[in-house]
Copies of this chain bind each other. A is one copy, B any other.
Amino acid sequence: MKLKIKDMNIATGGPIIVILNQDDAKVLDFHVGDRIGIQHNNKKTVAILNFAESEKAVPRGRIGCYEVVLDKLHAKNNSLVTISLEEKPKSISYIKKKLNNEKLSYNELYTIVDDIVKNRLSDIEMTYFVSACHLNAMQTEETINLTKAMINTGEVLKFKKGPIMDKHCVGGVAGNRTTMVIVPILAAAGVTMPKSSSRSITSPSGTADTMEVLAGVSFSVKEVRKIVNKVGACIVWGGAINLAPADDRIIRVEHPLSIDSNGQLLASILAKKASVSAGHVLVDIPLGKGAKIEHRKKALFLKNQFEVVGRSAGMNIKVIITDGTQPIGNGYGPLLEARDVLWVLRNDLKGPSDLRKKSVVMAGLLLEMAGKAKKGQGEKKALEILESGKAYKKMQEMIKAQGGKEILPENLKLAKYSFGVYSNESGKIIHIDNETISKIARDAGAPLDKAAGVYLYHHKNDKIMKGEILYTIYSNSTERLEFARGATKETKGIEAKH
């Protein structure tokens, strides 16, 4: 059957779709979701069928195409194409298999991931895959195979010099910017650390957002390779380099219900580590009330999964369970966090001691894994590097390589407006709620307003007096500041005991 193209003037990053008038589709006995082959001269591509209800959208005799299809076919508006009904991807039957609680093989998982990466599955079909993995929990062998499939459907970055180290934090703790202290320490010790980090999703800042206060973070794979080969490390945004690309597409259908299935999460994380050729990975699981993982049993299960799956993918994995009961550092929001990090790296007394301590412990473990320190000596060595100023110097090299320039923490420009939040009671602080502090910082405009956020003056077990300042909220917008101030009226996020 021959049809004339209608250019829909739309570019989407998602599944590849074409649109037929529903009356044409009915005559052809085509259904929504069928795969349609479209041929134009000697070019052919396959797309997922959708219907238009009205003649206005797509008239009979025409086929609505998005930019990606036009490009593939070297076609334009009014080009004549031949269409045909094609088989649905095999991956659909594998997804159904998983829905019926059968185990998937490596080849089946590879086929699914490959089709996801190549935009061959519709949102509905991907959602069934995510549901199936969420509900019929993946067995360890499947998680291992999914990890390998994710690695093998993406690019793998190679570097000149080993060992190549990486770290990962499960998240949920505000201000937990250890990466920005650890990476310069490790790189100063001669270890390669090509760190890709995420932007914030629900927190006031992700490591990529915080690093962006000091330098660029969006680089191509080629640029990352150049930076790392030059200075030994980087801290860049993972979204720009697009390694293990299935992940972003899966997240898109997970977002509406905030689903994350253990197996899938684990596979995504480890595939990203493998795709930068990391040989050694340290994983931080913060545990406690208000953190992402609130129960020890779940933390231990996750620890074991990381170890088993990571090792199967050829990595040396160490997992630590850390205190996640309160925020780390004093600032929450990109700029306030970057200031804390620089103070720690400069050995300034204003640097938060909890951030310094945790970073040094973790850097020590990584130095031991890399063979740069004897067992039990890593922490001491990490502290030496930090105190010597070498880590600060390495950070400045990284900033320069990533297109930034040296700036002293004191010179970071705070937000125009601020508001102090004071205690209503005297007593000992027994809980600081990560979620509440994060929400207030976001209400103030973080992470989009880089300088917005919360600066906390106390930590757990501190004694406070009634009327004493708890924290300052910063924002460049008076409206946002007012919004955040309103939120503190419901709860300040800090609990004290008389």
Which A residues have a C-beta under 8 Å from some C-beta of B? 9-13, 26-27, 29, 31-33, 52-54, 56-57, 67, 92, 95-96, 99, 101, 122-125, 127-128, 131-132, 134-136, 252-253, 255-259, 448
A99 touches B131 (CB 8 A): yes
* Nearest opposing residue in chain B for A29, CB measure: B448
Shortest C-beta distance, A453 to chain B (Å), equals 15
Bound: A135/B102 CA distance, A = 12
**Can you list 28 A-B pairs with a CB-CB distance of less than 8 A?**
A10-B52, A10-B54, A10-B56, A11-B52, A12-B52, A27-B448, A32-B252, A32-B255, A33-B256, A54-B67, A92-B256, A95-B257, A96-B258, A99-B257, A99-B259, A101-B135, A123-B124, A124-B124, A124-B127, A124-B253, A124-B256, A127-B127, A128-B256, A128-B257, A131-B132, A132-B135, A135-B135, A135-B136
* Nearest opposing residue in chain B for A56, CB measure: B9
B257 touches A13 (CB 8 A): no
* Nearest opposing residue in chain B for A447, CB measure: B29
Bound: A21/B75 CA distance, A = 25
Bound: A390/B252 CA distance, A = 61
Shortest C-beta distance, A457 to chain B (Å), equals 28
Bound: A132/B131 CA distance, A = 7
B135 touches A31 (CB 8 A): no
Q: Select one of B53, B128, B252 contacting A12, CB under 8 A.
A: B53
Oligomeric state, in number of copies? Answer: 2
Apart from A27-B448, A96-B257, A125-B256, 4 more pairs, CB < 8 Å: A11-B52, A99-B135, A123-B123, A124-B124
Bound: A125/B124 CA distance, A = 9
Shortest C-beta distance, A350 to chain B (Å), equals 30
* Nearest opposing residue in chain B for A254, CB measure: B124
* Known contacts A32-B252, A124-B127, A448-B29; is-contact A11 B54 (Cβ 8 Å): yes
Bound: A99/B137 CA distance, A = 12
Chain B residues contacting A96 (CB-CB under 8 Å) are: 257-259
Shortest C-beta distance, A475 to chain B (Å), equals 14
Shortest C-beta distance, A354 to chain B (Å), equals 29
Chain B residues contacting A101 (CB-CB under 8 Å) are: 135
A99 touches B33 (CB 8 A): no
Chain B residues contacting A32 (CB-CB under 8 Å) are: 252, 255-256
Shortest C-beta distance, A442 to chain B (Å), equals 8
Bound: A136/B137 CA distance, A = 13
Bound: A56/B67 CA distance, A = 10
Chain B residues contacting A256 (CB-CB under 8 Å) are: 32-33, 92, 122, 124-125, 128
Shortest C-beta distance, A214 to chain B (Å), equals 21
Chain B residues contacting A252 (CB-CB under 8 Å) are: 32
Bound: A198/B12 CA distance, A = 36
Shortest C-beta distance, A314 to chain B (Å), equals 33
Bound: A9/B19 CA distance, A = 13
Chain B residues contacting A52 (CB-CB under 8 Å) are: 10-12
Shortest C-beta distance, A60 to chain B (Å), equals 15
B127 touches A131 (CB 8 A): yes
